[in-house]
């Protein structure tokens, strides 16, 4: 049973880290679920209030950062609310329609279309779309770093406690 537990935990960590790049996957929630799998297969004894508080805080920061950093890129380049909404729709629909390339084309096209709907000229819409990509890449880096922190903290915690 221990082998099955570790296989599930590692698989959830892999899905979680992949979710930092591929937004359809549950990301941080998969990593968080891995902690429960560890508890069910082995013991919750290692985890205390501090562990759960720190991990929950990281998950909350991840959710907020995911939106805020992406929106920051659009806003930094002069984007409107419509381009932020378009970029968000694009990041969800893009990968579904165009697979991996949709991760880049989706938010770019969504911000571009959103900015055109808001009444901007194509030049400004292109600039805002580039900001959308900058926000997406920045958000991805932040998510990867925070999710790696979650996993590393988990292994430190179970080895010390």
Which percentage of the chain shows pLDDT scores above 90? 61
One-letter-per-residue 3-state SS of 67-125: HHHHHHHHHHCCCCHHHHHHHHHHHHHHHHHHHHHHHHHHHHHHHHHHHHHCCCCHHHH
Q: How does the average pLDDT of the chain come out, rounded?
A: 91
Q: How far apart are the first and last CA of the chain?
A: 22
Res 69 pLDDT > 90? no
Global pTM reads 0.84
Res 161 pLDDT > 90? no
Length of the chain: 161
Res 78 pLDDT > 90? no
Give the range among 14-23, 109-118, 140-149 with minimum mean pLDDT: 14-23
Query: What would the mean pLDDT of 66-80 be, rounded to a whole number?
Result: 81
Amino acid 118: pLDDT: 93
pLDDT in tens, 3-55: 999 999 999 999 999 988 887 788 999 999 999 999 999 999 989 999 999 99
What does the alpha-carbon distance between residue 12 and residue 16 come to, in Å, rounded to a whole number? 6
Q: Cβ(86)–Cβ(113) under 8 Å?
A: yes
Amino acid 31: pLDDT: 97
Amino acid 39: pLDDT: 96
- Considering only residues 70 and 94, tell me which one the structure prediction assigns the higher pLDDT: 94
Amino acid 68: pLDDT: 80
């Amino acid at each position: 049973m221990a082998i099955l537990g570790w296989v599930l935990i590692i698989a959830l960590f892999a899905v979680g880290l992949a979710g930092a790049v591929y937004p359809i996957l549950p990301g941080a929630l998969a990593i968080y679920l891995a902690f429960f799998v560890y508890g069910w297969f082995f013991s919750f004894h290692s985890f205390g209030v501090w562990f759960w508080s720190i991990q929950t805080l990281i998950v909350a920061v991840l959710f907020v950062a995911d939106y805020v950093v992406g929106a920051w890129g659009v806003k930094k380049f002069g984007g409107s609310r419509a381009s932020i909404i378009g970029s968000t729709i694009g990041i969800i629909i893009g990968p579904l329609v165009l697979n991996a390339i949709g991760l880049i084309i989706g938010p770019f096209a969504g911000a571009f279309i959103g900015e055109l709907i808001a009444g901007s000229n194509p030049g400004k819409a292109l600039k805002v779309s580039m900001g959308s990509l900058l926000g997406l890449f920045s958000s991805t880096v932040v998510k990867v770093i925070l999710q790696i922190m979650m996993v590393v903290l988990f292994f430190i915690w179970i080895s010390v406690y």
